[in-house]
Amino acid sequence: MFSAVVFVLAVAVFGASGQRFLAVENGQLRLNGEKVFMSGMNIAWQNYGRDFGNGQYQCCTSAALEDYIRRIGAEGGNSLRIWLHCDGAYTPSFDGNGYVVNTDDQNTMIADLSQFLDVAYANNVLVFIVLWNGAVAPYYRYLDLIWDESKLQTYIDRALVPMVSALSGKVALGAWEIMNEPEGLVAAGVSDANPCFDTTVLAGSGAGWAGSFVPMELLQRFINRQTAAIKRTDPKVLVTLGSWSERAQTDEFGWRNYYKDNCLIDGGGDGLGVLDFQQMHAYSWQGAYSPSAPLNVPNSDYNLNKPNLLGEFSQTGGDGRTIVDQFEWGYSQGYCGAWSWQANGGGEGSDDFATQALGLNHLRGRNDQNAGGRVDIVLQ
């Protein structure tokens, strides 16, 4: 009798498919037994690097951030991307020697994120939390975490693992993203006997624009170690990484996938530290996308063995196509999601909210299991 009750409860909690949290199965993002398509926006931030932790959420940012959740859901969206530490200037909490001692000085970050995820859950919106930003020059303490693995380990032990553990039961947590656009920090044009560390193919590509000149091997270690720690703490949760373009996430078109499993393991040495799905960003240059950009080619052309999400794009930063055309392309051309840039309308190349909402509404209600999959997800 007891075992029968346990079985019934298990079915009620996890569904007939045995899968209540977002997962990767057979090369697809899946939820509740169906292929799903992540249709949403980058909130990215309300107050850059200061949205969560140190009491800022309760005093200053929660109203705006939670309003974005509700508005994205109301426009037919099912997901959002939000940045956490950003450049590391405000969180995590460091001691005088650059070792991490906590998530934040006032120890409010976990409670802040928990509340944010609860609001997302109530609105059937999945949240993808980006830990770090590589698109701008980082605060020196953050850069030290990349160069010094002992300091990185203190971040993992005292900030990352506590966050992952505390939030592991949140159904609205879609994935952790280790870093936005690490290619901004990389030393491009460096030769190495190991192709995973050789960045000569990135010479002249624009990579390295933030001027930090970090060897690719150290970025891969940074990604690998955090990914592995997340998966040891919460084995079911997904992990991803957002690249500035396709140039660092495919071996096709003369480029190199620096974040495929063997490269991350070569860099960090931990076999568990591999990504669950990939993510590419797409912006035009002088009004045109590169020939191999994700808004020019179907996902199948990249010859990847994992789902691939169109993580940043905009009508303003595009090639003349409308935001509706861009969302439709992501849905129909094999990508597992599309997130426009950026809900607050404040970042470079950003569309305003109303423009992005046109794309969300275009995909509202779609459920073609032979194309992108279900958009109208239910979390409760």
pLDDT in tens, 238-275: 999 999 999 999 999 999 999 999 999 999 999 999 99
Number of H helices, E strands in the chain: 11, 15
Asked whether residue 13 carries a pLDDT value surpassing 60, the answer given is no
Give the relative orientation of helices 62-74 and 353-363 as an angle to the nearest 10 degrees: 40
Distance CA 286, CA 170 (A): 42
> What's residue 20's pLDDT?
92
Query: pLDDT tens across 93-106, in order?
Result: 999 999 999 999 99
> What's residue 8's pLDDT?
36
CB contact at 8 A, 334 and 364: no
- The residue annotated as part of the active site, out of 66, 75, 312, 328, is 312
Residue 4's pLDDT band (boundaries 50, 70, 90)?
very low
CB contact at 8 A, 133 and 179: yes
Alpha helices in the chain (DSSP H): 2-14, 56, 62-74, 109-122, 140-147, 149-155, 161-166, 216-233, 261-268, 323-332, 353-363
Query: pLDDT tens across 134-167, in order?
Result: 999 999 999 999 999 999 999 999 999 999 999 9
19, 147, 299 from 31: Cα distances, Å: 7, 38, 21
> What's residue 240's pLDDT?
99
Distance CA 142, CA 291 (A): 34
**Beta carbons within 8 Å of 282's beta carbon, 6+ residues apart:** 245, 246, 289, 293, 294, 295, 310, 312, 313, 318
Residue 11's pLDDT band (boundaries 50, 70, 90)?
very low
Q: Does the annotation mark 246 as catalytic? A: no
CB contact at 8 A, 167 and 112: no
- The residue annotated as part of the active site, out of 75, 181, 183, 246, is 181
Residue 191's pLDDT band (boundaries 50, 70, 90)?
very high
Asked whether residue 367 carries a pLDDT value surpassing 50, the answer given is yes
> What's residue 347's pLDDT?
82
Tell me the average pLDDT across 363-375: 98
pTM of the model: 0.95
CB contact at 8 A, 44 and 90: no
Q: Does the annotation mark 348 as catalytic? A: no
Distance CA 128, CA 79 (A): 8
- Pick the closest to residue 310 from 327, 322, 291, 287 (CA basis): 327
